[in-house]
DNA sequence: GTGTTTGTTATCAA
DNA sequence: CTTGATAACAAACA
């Protein structure tokens, strides 16, 4: 479940490793994972290189050095996608890994492989095959960004004024608002629940019931929890690993997510879990109002 | 065999 | 057109 902090961790690390490296060869092991025709995808990328990597919400956008029909390779990890990089000497005889957390690559969940001129390799693994790689033109990329993403946290876009606007004339609940990428991007189930706990707000409250002060608090804790998680290199709950195949350590800082039935770290009440906005939702009924 | 896990989209309704 | 709620998707695990 890579969300903003996990995807940003991958972006930062991977950019250092592959920027400017010539793509010597590439292979598609699962055509479903590539949203272009295989031959065209491979033809356009081999001999090209990634100049830098951008991110919007949970979407990675690899900028291509040689621009033609296409200018970017979009990568969405969805629930179980991984991008693992290995230097030449790290590459072992793989292919026998039977679990998604065994980061020997390639393994049975490897869907796409890039090999660079220096011998390094990038592996796109995806157990559930929800994720994808897609070549798009500059215009398509801009259209996708414009149409699908709301306020981006950790950028100058993220202002209290813009955030407050989201709460005006809306009938939905707080959890659904936070998960809606078209309103605010990058937050998934883990950080939605954590942000609500940190702001002491029950996630199923109608957004219209929040006071100005509660909105302000939510605004500030979102920024805080995302930054803190990036510092911890993300949350590994199930499947997430960074581009070295290592887990993130933020899980031990989670207050509610994944802690149903356990004691609240603040007040010792039992953390509850119910379904809201179609997702498992964790909260402390004593700390959150 | 059943229920659960989630990011996103499709679909339907108001 | 906008908003919102829900199902669907995939695959593994308890």
Residue with tokens 């939605």: A192
Residues 17-56 of A with CB under 7 A from strand B: none
> What percentage of chain A exceeds 90 in pLDDT?
87
Question: What's the rounded Cα separation, in Å, for the pair A33 and A271?
Answer: 37
- pLDDT given for residue A96 in this prediction: 47
Check residue A88 and give its pLDDT.
Answer: 82
Q: Which domains does chain A have, with CATH numbers?
A: 4-148 (3.20.190.10), 160-283 (1.10.8.50)
Q: What is the CA radius of gyration of chain A?
A: 20
pLDDT per residue over A240-259, tens digit each? 999 999 999 999 999 999 99
H/E element, A198: helix A189-198
Check residue A95 and give its pLDDT: 47
Q: What is the pLDDT of residues A203-242, one digit of tens each?
A: 999 999 999 999 999 999 999 999 999 999 999 988 899 9
Tokens coding A57: 């919400």
DSSP state of A49: B
- Give the nucleotide with minimal C1' distance to the Cα of A170: C3
Nucleotide nearest residue A77, measured CA to C1': B7
- The whole-number Å distance from A119's CA to C8's C1' is 41
Question: Nearest-CA residue to the C1' of C4?
Answer: A172
Indicate the average pLDDT of chain A. 92
Three-class DSSP category at A283 = strand
Q: What is the pTM (predicted TM-score) of this model? A: 0.94
CB < 7 Å to strand C — which of 96-115 in chain A? 99-100
């Amino acid at each position: 479940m890579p969300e903003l902090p996990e995807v940003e961790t991958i972006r930062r690390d991977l950019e250092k490793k592959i920027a400017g490296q010539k793509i010597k060869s590439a292979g598609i092991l699962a055509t479903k994972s590539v949203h272009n025709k295989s031959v065209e995808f491979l033809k356009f990328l081999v001999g090209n290189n990634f100049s830098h990597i951008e991110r919007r919400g949970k979407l990675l956008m690899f900028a291509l050095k040689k621009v033609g029909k296409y200018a970017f390779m979009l990568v969405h990890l969805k629930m179980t996608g991984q991008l693992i990089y290995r230097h030449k000497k790290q590459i072992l005889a793989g292919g026998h890994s039977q679990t998604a957390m065994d980061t020997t690559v390639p393994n049975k969940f490897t869907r796409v492989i890039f090999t660079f001129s220096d011998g390094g390799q990038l592996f796109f693994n995806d157990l559930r095959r929800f994720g994808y790689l897609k070549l798009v033109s500059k215009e398509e990329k801009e259209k996708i960004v414009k149409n699908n993403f709301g306020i981006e946290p950790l950028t100058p876009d993220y202002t209290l004024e813009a955030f407050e606007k989201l709460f005006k004339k809306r009938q939905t609940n707080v959890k659904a608002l936070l998960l809606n990428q078209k309103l605010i991007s990058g937050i998934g189930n883990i950080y939605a629940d954590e942000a609500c706990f940190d702001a002491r707000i029950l996630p199923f409250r109608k957004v219209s019931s929040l006071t100005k002060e509660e909105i302000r608090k939510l605004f500030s804790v979102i920024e805080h929890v995302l930054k803190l998680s990036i510092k911890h290199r993300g949350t590994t709950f199930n499947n997430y690993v960074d581009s070295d195949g290592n887990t993130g350590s933020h899980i031990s800082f989670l207050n509610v997510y994944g802690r149903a039935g356990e004691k609240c770290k603040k007040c010792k009440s039992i953390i509850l879990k119910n379904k809201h906005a179609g997702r498992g939702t964790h909260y402390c009924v004593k700390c959150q109002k």
